[in-house]
């Protein structure tokens, strides 16, 4: 049985899509997931509008390789805003190290303990 080059390309595309949907092929090799963090921001002082506060938090915590969702402006622990960061683990881990842990190994252990693989963090509904 002979097949044309065009038919072969189509067969490969269809099979590739099928395998990708089954999770047998991953294009992104970086580990993805999410973490929930308390984020204190001095930039919020004096800002009363909740939507403006949310935008300030998203701008401060956003980065290349992840998304930010503001879960609460007044979290349970010390009243700090609570954010969920979802995306590339290494990118978020580097941001966390610079912005929250300041290179402290104990806080980086907390990051590793609280990191959840997958897009939706199970604790997010508490906020």
Across the range 71-77, mean pLDDT stands at 78
- Strand 82-88: give its sheet, edge to edge: 66-72, 82-88, 32-38, 116-117
Task: Count other C-beta atoms under 10 Å from residue 116's C-beta.
Answer: 16
Share of the chain above pLDDT 90, in %: 14
Strands annotated E in the chain:
32-38, 66-72, 82-88, 116-117
| Model confidence band, residue 29 (pLDDT cutoffs 50, 70, 90) | low
Ranges 45-54, 93-102, 115-124: which has the least confidence: 115-124
Region label for 13, one of left (φ > 0), alpha (ψ between -120 and 50) or beta (otherwise) = alpha
- pLDDT, residue 16, reads 85
Q: Is the pLDDT of residue 37 over 90?
A: no
Per-residue pLDDT reduced to its tens digit, 55-69: 999 998 888 778 898
Q: Concatenate the DSSP letters of all residues of 13-24 into one string.
A: HHHHHHHHHTTS
Ranges 20-29, 35-44, 100-109: which has the least confidence: 20-29
- pLDDT, residue 7, reads 93
- pLDDT, residue 88, reads 85
């Amino acid at each position: 049985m002979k097949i044309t080059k065009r038919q072969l390309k189509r067969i490969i595309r269809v099979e590739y899509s099928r395998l990708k949907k089954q999770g047998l092929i991953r294009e992104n090799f970086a580990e993805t997931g999410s973490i929930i963090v308390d984020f204190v921001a001095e930039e919020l002082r004096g800002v009363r509008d909740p939507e403006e506060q949310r935008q300030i938090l998203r701008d401060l915590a956003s980065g290349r390789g992840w998304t930010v969702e503001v879960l609460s402006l007044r979290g349970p622990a010390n009243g700090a805003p609570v954010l969920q960061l979802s995306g590339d683990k290494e990118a978020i881990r580097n941001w966390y190290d610079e912005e929250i842990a300041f290179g402290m190994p104990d806080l980086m252990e907390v990051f590793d303990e609280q990191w959840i693989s997958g897009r939706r963090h199970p604790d997010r509904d508490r906020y």
